[in-house]
Structure 1
Amino acid sequence: MSTPSTMTPSPAERTSEPEPPFTTRRADLGDLARVNALHHRCSLDTRYARYASGRRELKMSEFARLVHPAAGTSWITTLRDDRETAVAVTHLLKTRTPGVFELAVLVGDPWQGRGLGSWLTDYALHSAMVDPRCDAVVAMFGATNRRALRILRRRDVTVPTASAGVIDVTLPLPERS
């Protein structure tokens, strides 16, 4: 799969494949309806894997906190030919621990298994690497979230033992130059 972003891939990432069907950009308050429509289209299993609950939508006050620049960064991924249809939402947000950010990714069911979650994880980790406020990235997800486990294993991340059905892991950042 080629890089699903409007950003130009580095020479090492370029392929002869056709342009990907996705575009990723910073999310803003105007994206709430797109993000909630994505939540409604996701299966209960997908929403549970992301939130450890069957959450169907976000309130404006919640979304406002997620997309506020002081909180970190949130991205929305849409179809390139249909910018109204969100296929994923990604958050890289500050935690209460200085220098530690939390990564969360929700990919809609029809687009899972295509490498999009892996690409969004890499994108967020590279963004964290260039943010001087970020020293570490953590992620929390359900122990039965097979896709998140696969993403970690592909990166040779040691997956800790689940506690109360939740895995809490620190993701290695790419090398800073």
Structure 2
Amino acid sequence: MSDRKPARYDPLGSRGGTRFHPPPHGLLITTNLDNDDALASDALELLRREIRPCPGKRIYSLLYGYQYFTSERFLLKMRYTNNHFLTLVEPFDDRAETIIAYRHTRAIRQQPTVYISSPHGKWLEIVHEDNVSNDLRINAKVRNIPVLRGRTFSDFGLPELRVTARRQWFQTLFLLPVRFLVTGAKRLRGKRARLRRK
């Protein structure tokens, strides 16, 4: 067994020799972002306007975003309180953890949370064949909202990604109900299997 301690954020750079200067108000601000997902170009500005200095740690959640299913070329808007794109604001000191220390499914129960609503989604989750756990979300914390217009994603730095209104209507009427049933059936099978093992 290794006696190594888990890596922690080192604001003073004692291991690397580089000294870091604290950000304004002495806050460390970290946002979770996978390498196959994206934030809208104005998402960080929206966060910057909403963040307020406060004692202790605080989570910020951009409530609205999108899921894009690559195999079907289908887009779904979501209202998701504990999404993958949470931001942690904390004092810039040697106890800083960064957002990586929190599972997104539990973070909003572990720290005070500020929910930021906007008319357009501010995050984009790409659902592709290599995703381990990303799929259609079916739970009480998620509201799936059909997108029935065409849309480009230039505002996410992805001008080549686009969906058409015709395809969105077709996928919403035919694909979404089927995917909902298939995902629900998989979840039920998984729950039954876990119950049998107990």
TM-score normalised by the chain length of structure 2: 0.27
Bigger-Rg structure (1/2):
2
Q: Which has the higher contact order (CA 8 A, sep 6+)?
A: 2
Higher-helix-fraction structure: 1
TM-score normalised by the chain length of structure 1: 0.29
